[in-house]
């Protein structure tokens, strides 16, 4: 679905962004995009997440706020299935992270601090590889479109090794455009970006909101984000401190001393 540009300063930016046309249905008919219960994660004995019970309804754009070490990145990584929780459970789009991790991966896109790009490959090659991994149809066309949309068409055949941090981030966003996600997780999306790069993020946020993709953004501040947000969640010391806005709910972590470990894992 093409979306009108919301970025008046986007000089080198394209006017429309191709966000994959997964037909998601009306938000009210869909299960919550994020539904966690007492989600906890310890690293070397210290709790990064101490018991997060959070629900984010479908189609919402929500900011995950809090100081460094509050657990924002850990929460995103668990939802992306990059790491597993120590205790508690979580569902994405109604799918259990433990039992249905494969299905969850097909619906979630994650932009982390690390870009996961291969230095020795060109921008185009990186995206082509990603397209095969993501089972994107019409690989050549979609890759070309994605490169256009993120403003890297003129550097498509240069190796990523030569790219600046901002350009790598844009390429990583291009990779997300190749996917078919219903939940997008962004970890500090504006970091290391110039004005054009930040406009790109803005455009993506509008585009995703328009088609009903849920977005969770970890960030220090909300200045630039405010206009796109449906809700806000603030984490502190591994727990939810406050929630506000539409479509976001949280409950107190359980104080009963039998924190449940994730369920048994089938062979996949």
Partner 1 sequence: MSAPIIEARIALAIARKDAVAELRGRHATVSTLFFAAIVLLLFGFALGPDSARLADAAPGLLWLAVVFAGVLAVNRLHLLETDDGALEQLALYPVPRRAIYAGKALGGVAVMLVLGLVVLGAVGVLFAVDIGSAWAPLLATVVLGAIGIGAVGTFYAAVTVRLRAREVMLPLLMLPVLAPLLLGAVKATAAALAGDPFGELGAWLQLLAAFDVIMIVAGAATYGYLLEDG
Partner 2 sequence: MKTRVLGLVAFLTVATTTVIGLLVVPADLNQGDAQRIMYPHVASAWLAYLSFGVTAVAGIGWLWKRDLRMDSVALAGAEIGVMFTFFAIWGGMMWGRPIWGVFWQWEDPRLTTTALLLALYVGYLLLRRLTDDPERRATRAAIVGVVAAVDIPIVHFSVEWWRGLHQTATIASPDRVLDPAAPGIFVLTLLGTVGAFTLTWGYLMIRRYQLAQLSLAREETARLDLLMSVRSAEVAR
Residues of this chain, 234-263, that bind partner 2 according to CB under 8 A: 236-239, 241, 252-255, 257, 259, 262-263
Angle, to 10 degrees, between the axis of helix 165-178 and the axis of helix 123-134?
A: 30
Q: Which of 10, 106, 191, 192 binds partner 1 (CB under 8 A)?
A: 106
Q: Comparing C-alpha atoms, which of 34, 91, 29 is closest to residue 215?
A: 34
- By CB under 8 A, tell whether 44 contacts partner 2: yes
By three-state DSSP, how is residue 225 classified?
Answer: coil
Query: Quick one: what does residue 44 bind among partner 2, partner 1, none, with the CB cut-off 5 to 8 Å set by partner type?
Result: partner 2
- By CB under 8 A, tell whether 22 contacts partner 1: no
- By CB under 8 A, tell whether 82 contacts partner 2: no
Separation of alpha carbons 179 and 107, rounded Å: 8
Residues of this chain, 121-180, that bind partner 2 according to CB under 8 A: none
Give the H/E segment covering residue 149. Answer: helix 139-149
128 versus 230: smaller Cβ distance to partner 1: 128
Query: Quick one: what does residue 133 bind among partner 1, partner 2, none, with the CB cut-off 5 to 8 Å set by partner type?
Result: partner 1
Q: Comparing C-alpha atoms, which of 5, 80, 53, 87 is closest to residue 233?
A: 53
Query: Quick one: what does residue 257 bind among partner 1, partner 2, none, with the CB cut-off 5 to 8 Å set by partner type?
Result: partner 2
Q: Which of 7, 121, 192, 243 binds partner 1 (CB under 8 A)?
A: 121
The tokens describing 89, both together, are 């459970």
Separation of alpha carbons 261 and 135, rounded Å: 33
Query: Quick one: what does residue 78 bind among partner 2, partner 1, none, with the CB cut-off 5 to 8 Å set by partner type?
Result: none
From start to end of 152-266, where are the E strands? 183-187, 214-218, 231-236, 239-245, 248-251
User: Which residues here bind partner 2, judged by CB under 8 A?
Assistant: 40, 42, 44-47, 50-51, 84, 86-87, 236-239, 241, 252-255, 257, 259, 262-265, 267
């Amino acid at each position: 679905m093409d979306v009108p540009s919301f970025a008046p300063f986007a000089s080198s930016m394209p006017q429309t962004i191709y966000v994959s046309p997964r037909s998601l249905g009306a938000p009210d008919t869909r299960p919550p995009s994020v539904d966690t219960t007492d989600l906890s994660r310890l690293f070397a004995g210290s709790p990064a997440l101490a018991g997060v019970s959070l629900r984010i309804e479908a189609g919402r754009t929500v900011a995950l706020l809090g100081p460094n070490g509050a657990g924002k990145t850990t929460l995103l990584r668990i939802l992306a299935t990059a790491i597993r929780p120590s205790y508690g459970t979580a569902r994405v789009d109604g799918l259990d992270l433990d039992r249905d991790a494969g299905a969850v991966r097909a619906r979630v896109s994650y932009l982390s601090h690390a870009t996961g790009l291969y230095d020795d490959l060109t921008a185009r090659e990186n995206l082509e590889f990603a397209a095969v991994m993501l089972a994107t149809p019409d690989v050549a066309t979609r890759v070309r479109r994605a490169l256009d949309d993120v403003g890297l068409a003129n550097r498509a055949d240069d190796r990523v090794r030569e790219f600046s941090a901002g350009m790598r981030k844009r390429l990583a966003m291009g990779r997300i455009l190749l996917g078919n996600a219903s939940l997008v997780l962004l970890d500090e999306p504006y970091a290391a970006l110039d004005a054009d790069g930040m406009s790109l993020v803005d455009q993506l946020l509008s585009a995703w909101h328009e088609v009903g993709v849920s977005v969770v953004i970890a960030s220090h501040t909300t200045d630039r984000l405010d206009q796109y947000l449906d809700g806000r969640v603030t984490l502190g010391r591994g727990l939810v401190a406050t929630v506000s806005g539409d479509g976001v709910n949280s409950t107190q972590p359980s104080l009963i001393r039998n924190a449940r470990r994730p369920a048994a894992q089938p062979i996949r």
